[in-house]
Amino acid sequence: MRETTVPTHWYSISADLPFKIPRHHRRNHPHGTSEPVDIRPQLPLSLYRHGAGDDRFIEIPTDVRQAYEQWRPTPLMRAFGLEKALDAPARIYYKNEGTSPTGSHKLNTALAQASSYRDAGITHLTTGTGAGQWGTALAMACQRFGLQCTVFMTACSYHQKPYRKTLIELYGGRVVSSPSGLTEIGRRIQSQEPDSDGGMSIANAEAIELARTSEATRFAVGSGENHVLTHQTVVGEEAVLQMKSTADFPDVVVAAVGAGSNFAGIAFPFYRQARIAARQVRLIAVESASCPKLTRGRYAWDFSDLSYVTPLVKMYTLGHDFKVPAIYSGGLRYHGTSALISAMYEHGLIEAVAYSEEEVFEAARLFTRTEGIVMAPESAHAVCAVVGEAQRAKDEGREPCILFNLSGHGLLDLGAYEAFLGDRLEKRTVSDQEIMKSLARLPAQEDATEPSEERDLETDSHRS
């Protein structure tokens, strides 16, 4: 199923949604010491447009498409081995994003962003990374387009995944364990909590602080923002074409959800295709039971990081300082999820389920033994849901077509697999009390009203 070529366009779902997505809202945290700063207007206009939702289709720039052609289209495979093992009448397909040079879907947006920033005259990108997949992808993309790259890696992953650090350095990037002594926020957290595992919101806050020290430096974000979700739709656009060549169409599309980009990437184009064909397609976002923002969080205005200088986002969240257990699926350790995915969930357009690490690694082992591919623990969340769907369908006498996104390979996650095989996975549960405590620290919601159309600061700042 490789005969298709790389799509020429990304898809922006906002054009097809029956409601407006609440815009990011500028307001500073009452405890914040920094001056009001909004990093979003610093987005190059091109990236802003990729996420603005004015156009349904956005042409992929030539240099980005050429870069994609190195490994895209990624294979769409039928999981015959898994189907047989489950003895369920489901037809299971998966899109393998683990075949990218850096090993995951993250490279799709990293290349698009590096190209846009370079065109805007930026010479240095900073970022935060959880599992290290995003940092690796950005380092490679920066190398390709001639930019410097600094990656703040959560201390948790920095120690769990030393080879990610090596890879980033091999690609020419600089890696710093977060919280670090390089930034004010890093030093503050180090002094409050010397053994901090770090977290995505801390790593991003550090990257933002560093980016603010120089004109030609910008903070790049690996997931969650609208433009990132748009870039990832190259995955689903390909899958739409590839599914056509099988003459099959998914009844269910499944993907893991961190901040939401790999889910959006595979699911959004099928949302459109289902509408065109007047069919039903269920879109299932799978989260970690240790970071259950959709299934147990609240739809509220919250900070996307701990810098207190970025705008509030209306999203499903566990609270910006929720301490996510140090699970092996570092890419899912984010307290919230994107505004787009959150709004779709609130409107009932997508479903969500959560699985524990033990269940997830079981599913990953089954997949390795039936399909031969070792996947990232993040991706295995999707397999867990696929297995559940297939078994339920069998019980109910249905024969669904299920498609999932295998977001990355797990060849640098063998430490995690070793812990699983050695029965050393820690049981981690999140109590209602912890969630309630964290949600009690959400910013005051009554202040977070949406700016009206005329006073749309975001757009204004781009016009000036």
Ligand X SMILES: *Cc1c(COP(=O)(O)O)cnc(C)c1O
User: Nearest-CB residue to ligand X?
Assistant: 408
Does 225 engage in binding with ligand X (CB under 6 A)?
Answer: no
Distances, alpha carbon 286 to alpha carbons 332, 350, 358, 375, in Å: 10, 11, 15, 15
Write each residue from 48 to 67 as x if it is in contact with ligand X (CB under 6 A), else as -, in one continuous string: --------------------
Instruction: Determine which residue in the list 26, 40, 49, 106 makes contact with ligand X, applying CB under 6 A.
Output: 106
Residue 262 Cβ, how far from ligand X at the closest point, in Å? 4
* Coarse DSSP helix, strand, coil percentages of the chain, rounded to the nearest 5 percent: 45, 15, 40
Q: Note whether 96 binds ligand X by CB under 6 A.
A: no
End-to-end CA distance of the chain: 47
Residue 14 engages ligand X in binding (rule: CB under 6 A): no
259 near ligand X, judged by CB under 6 A: yes
- Overall residue count recorded for the chain in this entry: 464
Binders of ligand X among 330-389, rule CB under 6 A? 331-332, 376, 378-379
Q: Which is nearer to ligand X, 134 or 328 (CB)?
A: 134
When the beta carbons of 168 and 393 are compared against ligand X, the nearer one is 168
Q: Does 313 bind ligand X (CB under 6 A)?
A: no
In angstroms, give the least distance from the CB of 105 to ligand X: 7
DSSP code for 69: T
Q: How far is the CB of 93 from ligand X (least distance, A)?
A: 18
Alpha-carbon distance 26 to 90, whole Å?
47
Starting at the edge strand found earlier in the chain, the sheet holding 174-178 runs 174-178, 148-154, 124-129, 217-219
Size, binding site for ligand X by CB under 6 A: 21
- Which of 256, 448 has the CB closer to ligand X? 256
Question: Which residues ranging from 163 to 222 are in contact with ligand X (CB under 6 A)?
Answer: none
* Helix (H) or strand (E) run with residue 434 in it: helix 432-439
Q: Is 260 in the site for ligand X (CB under 6 A)?
A: yes
Does position 155 interact with ligand X (CB under 6 A)? The reply is: no
Please tell me whether residue 133 binds ligand X under the rule CB under 6 A: yes
Residue type, 357: E
Among 135, 199, 258, 319, binds ligand X (CB under 6 A): 258
C-beta separation of 295 from 287 below 8 A:
yes
Helix (H/G/I), strand (E/B), else coil: 256: strand
CB of 139 to ligand X, least distance (A): 14
Nearest approach, Cβ of residue 57 and ligand X (Å): 21
Strand partners, 91: 401
User: Does the footprint of ligand X cover residue 308 (CB under 6 A)?
Assistant: no
- Give the angle 424-430-431 at the CA atoms, nearest 5°: 135
Beta strands of 72-194 (E only): which ranges? Answer: 76-78, 91-96, 124-129, 148-154, 174-178
* Strand pairing category for 148-154 and 124-129: parallel
According to DSSP, residue 332 is labeled G
From 81-89, 156-164, 260-268, 299-307, span contacting ligand X (CB under 6 A):
260-268
Angle in degrees, CA 119, 217, 25, rounded to 5? 95
Q: CA 83 to CA 368: how far, in whole Å?
A: 13
- Pick one of 102, 183, 407, 438: the residue that binds ligand X (CB under 6 A): 407
Residue placing its CB nearer to ligand X in the complex, 263 or 355: 263
At 87 the three-state DSSP class reads coil
Contact residues: ligand X, CB under 6 A: 104, 106, 131, 133-134, 223, 256-263, 331-332, 376, 378-379, 407-408
